[in-house]
Chains A and B, each alone.
Chain A
Amino acid sequence: MKIIKELKKRKVPIVKIEKSLNKYDDMILFPDKLEKANEMLRNVGLPKQWTKK
């Protein structure tokens, strides 16, 4: 019971490694979204809040 409670409290989920998913890492599954993200980086750029030293 204690283990179940501990598992429920975890913020980082337990993830099963599934080798069949490795092939997707080399593919762009959502090209439109990636293009949108790159466009945002070109137009908006990086946040000053996080890049100021």
Chain B
Amino acid sequence: MKLPKYPLASSDKLQTFEFISEGKKGLIYKLVQYKQTNLKNIYNLAFGDKDHSTGEIDDTIISNNGDSEKVLSTVVGTIYAFTDKYPTAWIYATGSTKARTRLYRMGINKYLTVVVEDFEILGEKNDDWETFRKNIEYDGFLIRRKKKK
């Protein structure tokens, strides 16, 4: 994806990433974490704001820093980095609220042609999975990297 992204820092295992959002409200530290679920090789993707002074983390806060596209693009960058290290991992993502899930869906919609070159995406709907289609409301998403040919 050729969209602007923020520089990324990561833990050794590439399971926790950090970047700094720069916008109208100043600098906001963001943390992205890939945490294994109860099932092996299925990871939950979550991200939120980190209070740089207290270290406290909040994934419900609406930052309104005016850079949501750049933030989403940076999070997509972490998916590339994570799946480069863990190419067989499946990643589950959902928003902390319906509105946030909708924002993710819109992000996927917008860059779907680019994203599907490298990833397979399923949408969670009515307690089932279907191949991601544009303009359908989903409860969550499951992503995996396409095998390199």
Contact = CB atoms under 8 A, between A and B. Distances in A.
Contacts, number: 123
A13 B5 contact: yes
A29 B129 CA distance: 27
Interface size class, chain B: 35 or more
A20 to B, nearest CB: 9
Interface string B122-136: 101001110100000
B148 interface: no
Interface of B: 1-2, 5, 7-18, 31, 33, 35, 37-39, 42, 44, 46-48, 57, 59, 74, 77-78, 80-81, 84, 90, 92, 94, 96, 118, 120, 122, 124, 127-129, 131, 139-140, 142, 144
